[in-house]
Structure 1
Amino acid sequence: MTVTRVYLVDDNDGFRDSTAWLLETAGFEVESFASGAAFLEAYAGNRHGDASECLVSDIRMPEMSGLQLQDELGRRGIQLPLVFVTAHGDVPLAVEAMRKGASNFLEKPFSEQALVDALRTALANARNRGSGGGMANELLAKLSPRERQVLDLVVASKPNKIIADILGISIKTVELHRANMMGKLGVRSLPELMKVALGHG
């Protein structure tokens, strides 16, 4: 079984240590960094990320913010599933990060289960995009690009209001996309939708 490596970037020593311990307890291999620059220096530049690696980063840090780190990864062609952790006041920044392709964001303080679930979902999404999900991929191919965006945000456990903010559309339009999407995928409940979205349909 592949060990999943999580790269943890946060300038708060106490938070970094406790989160690394929590993730190691949950079975992840963890490498911690006090800054985005330190992570970029350690992460081999010729790697493009694989299905067993994920990045967890704070949004607001001195020198290089989480958003700047995200931009730099994009410039270098490094495609790591990215989960942001953020204080309540940083939610607009986190919404911007998801517009740019982050997998999820969690508001501090969050539960151990919320972080583990966010990481597993981000990794499953990355795997599903990178390889054929068989029947699930055939179903997903029926979705419009906008419906696919809505689906990714539903899978990331975002409520309709946040989805509307991220995509710049009304809550009613989000609800319409959700209804159309579920019809096209032939599912009637959120658990069924998650199974198809994560390639288990």
Structure 2
Amino acid sequence: MTDARIFLVDDNAPFRDSTAWLLETAGFAVEAFASGREFLAGYASTRHGAQDCLVSDIRMPEMSGLQLQDELRRRGSTLPVVFVTAHGDVPLAVEAMRKGASNFLEKPFGDEALLQAVRTALASARAGGQCARLEKLSPRERQVLDLVVASKPNKVIADVLGISIKTVELHRANMMGKLGVRSLPELMKVALGHG
């Protein structure tokens, strides 16, 4: 079971039900919605995090998938989006991808194609989150991190950077606080993009 939560938006009830079942069988928590407006109302009231992904039909009445994507961006959301459609065309796919969609699948598609698209979108979102966390570090903290990842002890780090061991320890403590980690293994995961 994964911590990822998939928001599924599609006006076609049989497709929505079968896709929700597929995603749940693959270990994802799924919240399904019949329209973009219904999703926005539900999404605004729920906690959302880096483990979330939106799978949306692109052609729906009232609010299209592209309009939904625009509204999410307007609200500052970085939720990764995988579009699905029975009526795909190249200009529509290009527009969706240009606006930041992670993928664009044309129905009917294989189960594994959707699961891979979702996994890729989640991995990209996590990687983006890691980059944002690492950007919080000062240049000196980043140097210390690189040497810690290279398995250098504090004394060697101090010698390489021309600072005291106490200063290395201070940079390590600040760095771990900024990255939200409490142990060296957690720090390594974040630094290597797996945390």
Q: TM-score, normalised by structure 2?
A: 0.64
User: 2:23 is matched with which residue?
Assistant: 23
Alpha-carbon distance in 2 for matches of 1:83, 1:113: 14
User: Where do 5+ consecutive residues of structure 2 fail to align?
Assistant: 133-191
State the partner residue of 2:51.
Answer: 52
CA contact (8 A) 2:7 2:30 kept: yes
Report what 1:36 is aligned to: 36
Whole-angstrom CA distance in 2 between matches of 1:90 and 1:45:
34
Which residue of 2 is the match for residue 65 of structure 1? 64
SS in structure 2 of the partner of residue 43 of structure 1: helix
| Secondary structure class of the residue paired with 1:63 | coil
Number of equivalenced pairs? 136
Between the aligned residues of both structures, percent identity stands at: 75
Unaligned runs of 5+ in 1: 134-197
Match of 1:101, SS state, is: coil
Secondary structure at the residue paired with 1:79? coil
1:83 is paired with a residue whose SS is: strand
Report what 1:97 is aligned to: 96
Deviations for 1:14-45, whole angstroms, at most 9, x for unmatched residues? 00000000110110010000000000001126
Deviations 1:97-146 (A, max 9, x none): 1100010011101111111100111111111111049xxxxxxxxxxxxx
Amino acid at match of 2:94: V
- Measured in 1, the distance between the counterparts of 2:115 and 2:82 equals 11
For residues 51 and 44 of structure 1, the distance between their equivalents in structure 2, rounded to whole angstroms, comes to 15
| Cα offset, 1:90, TM superposition | 3.6
**Is 1:114 matched with 2:110?**
no
**Over alpha carbons, which structure has the higher Rg?**
2
Question: How big is the alpha-carbon RMSD for the aligned residues of Structure 1 and Structure 2?
Answer: 2.3
- Does the 8 Å CA contact 1:86/1:94 hold for their aligned counterparts? no
Identify the range of structure 1 (89-98 vs 62-71) with the bigger mean alpha-carbon deviation. 89-98
Q: TM-score, normalised by structure 1?
A: 0.62
